[in-house]
Amino acid sequence: MDTNARNGKGLTSLQSFWIRHIRQCEVSANGGVKGYALEHGLEPQDLYRWQSWFPKRGMFPTTTTPTLPTFRSLR
């Protein structure tokens, strides 16, 4: 894999590879990141690392569980 080749979105082939796996991992139901990584022949720590790499550079939004609004009593 040529890690320096860019796709139409300005990403290298390596970045595209990891984004694809991150997105697939988010929608899979096979034991979380570790289970997904092992099932697809990836090192779990590599998948974790790339999951944090993109948001730190503003390239890929973090996936978070939406929080419910909190209410305060107005007295």
The string of pLDDT tens digits covering residues 17-72 is 999 999 999 888 667 899 999 999 999 999 999 988 988 888 765 555 555 666 67
Minimal CA–CA distance to 40: which of 25, 19, 23? 25
DSSP state of 8: T
Per DSSP, helices labelled H in 1-75 are 13-27, 32-39, 44-56
The model's pTM is 0.64
